Structure 1
Amino acid sequence: IHEGTDCTSDALGHYWNKDEITADPWADVTYRDVGPEGSATVGLHSVTTALYESDIDGHVFIVHDYQGTRIACAVLGNSVLIGAGGGASPEQNVLASAPVEFVQYFNYPGPLDGSAVSGTISPMVEYGKGAGLGQAFAFTLWGVDPACKDGPDPSTPNSCGVHIHEGTDCTSDALGHYWNKALIADDPWADVHYVTYDMGGGCSAEVTTGPLGTTGPGHCTTATRSSFKAVTTGLSLDAVKGHAFIVHAFNGARIACSVLADPGASLPLSAGGFIPYFDYAGDLRVSGVVTPMATLPAVFRAPSAIFGGASAFLTPTQSFAYSLRGVDPNCASGPTAGVANSCGIHIHEGTDCASNALGHYWARGSFPDDPWASVSYRAESGLFGRYTATGVSPGVITGLYQSQIAGHGPTP
């Protein structure tokens, strides 16, 4: 991201809050693995710029070549997005990760259990124009075919495939792959597939971030990478919305189906406008934002003493980023060992800031241990002597869904 705000003149230098951050955070943000026709898909980058979404809106995004020359320009603005399980939402400029409801393909006879397929297909964003129009999306799947551990069978059509189809429901034939045949001759879905691998409880499809889960023995445990698939379909997001997203087995059979729709309530949550805690009498004044807070399924490996053996299952987990100012300078070295809540940042049971926030919020009936106990920030010296804290949580296994935590307070 550069300081400039249009693509008709000098884009100026890299854009970040130089009052807060000395070194250029963009210096090592690059792409690689350039494919056919100069395509490149890159993992999601986290760049600490100390700028808010409103600050970067309208600034230019520049692509450089191998020599560092500026070769392409776009102006940042709102993206149109959908997810499996959700319509278009152009007002959102945070890409959503939405859990997906899959069902077994209507006439799949087995032996795999198509209803065991689950995961996330999102964010899905639109790019390009005309014959260059397409969808870029990430996915995380488990319960898929373990035979796909080495990728698809090149001699079998649709082997290990994940595709948008022409059909619009999961109760009948999904028809063929969906793309604009008037603009694009060859099927762009032909080489879009997943690869599975075993993490101790089964296998998983890959393409987003982190080890995210398992359906238990005999099904698949996910281990995924942060990456996008880009498929040039010649179709807009409005056109693909409502169509079937199909998962195939190693032998090409259709095993599971979901319908692309609006992520809705699964969109990430955010918190800002911090005020002093209702009975805090000190001098610290925290400001900033906690966003996006997304809920994804993650693996929870059950203690054998509780569940009678080695087992693992999916449970909702919160992942979030934060950028705070005015935090406690004593947290420069991190929390004090043995002191409860030292330098903590947690969701609490309370639902307003005018009274007691109560205790940390998680599904106590499912998990005896507090998952928030080790979640903390580290302070860094900032502008005008105010200490800042920025970071990304690794994932807090609370057992709570997005709808359950909405309205509860992140409390530094």
Structure 2
Amino acid sequence: MASKPTLLVTTSTFPRWKGDSEPRFVYDLSRRLTETFNVVVLAPHAAGAKVDEMWDGMHVYRYRYAPAAWETLAYNGGISANLKQNRWNALLLPLFFIGQWWALRKLLKTYPVDTLHAHWLIPQGLVAALALWGKTTKPTLICTSHGGDLFGLQDAISTRLKCWVVQRCQAVTVVSHAMLAPIQALAGANPPPVSVIPMGTDLQQTFIPNPQVSRAANQLLFVGRLVEKKGLPYLLHALQQLLPTHPDLQLVVAGNGTAQADLIQLGESLGIGQHVTFVGRLEHASLVRLYQTSTLAVFPFVQAKDGDMEGLGLVMVEAMGCGCPVIASDLPAVRDVIRHGESGCVVTTADSAALATAIASLLADPTQRQTLSTQALATVRNGFDWESVTQRYQHCLQSTPSQPSMTEIIHAN
């Protein structure tokens, strides 16, 4: 362990305990990087989580920023969603930043950090840049943008802060090609190297087809946070249009979020409540079974009013890995995952009629569904399995700005 370089990972999304249903892609990547690095993780604390623990070879610290009952800014939908749901959460922002900055400074003194990997430009990238500001000897700073921080937060102050962060990184990664132009626009005249490297999914042992399980004939599946950019209202309207000709159709909604009550009410007002089941956010085992048994997985992504939209959409990869045919909206990031007519079906964004037409077409054509799922499986295994994704992050994190390997690298998915 001592011979390995030290990687300090900062993130606002990380499982709070074993079996937590919070998104785990930062955990999965960090755990796999322990083969190469001594990995230290800094994440926000939440009620019920440990402040300091060894977990799967990582030393995980969770910083306090308020009494436990008030630590509600992160998790359960994310910071942006929690701010929109409860404006009083904005009062926690200064404490959140200060708590993270203080804990990060302490860890930088405790560990001989070689590389600091900040997930999201704001807040982690900003806090990391501030913590390193003025230091004569400091680790390499690499920031990964996941989409919400780049496409959202479009006000003048946030944009200037993002520019400041990007220009102080030695390298930046984004999770889809759709994010290249926006990140380069922030970089100014002397941009850091930019790499396109997606987050990964376990397509070897977890998100895999199960030939022993039968697929339902009329079950649609939606997986994701219940927030504006996921576009679930359009799927609910599409379901209403489909029911006269497909009266047995059912929709399973796996996820939670700030819009859940409004979405349930919308379903009732459309007269489709008995055809929609909200099952909440699920652990991997239950989610995998839904992917393996559903007829179609549908992801009607849209661009939110504040500009936020999907940076990648790993739920599509998970479904495809389980052999579930996928329909998704035609957003730029979706094109990194789906080739229309080959590995999935892409429809016009924010168009419930187009969504209903695509669903009806695939419901009526089991041969086409099988063709799409077979081709999709090969596509995602080639570009999104954790084994290949981890190797690409290892290369990026181990390189230094002076090495030729850190010239601009754009990885094709």
TM over 0.5: no
TM-score scaled by length of structure 1: 0.26
More strand by share: 1
More helix by share: 2
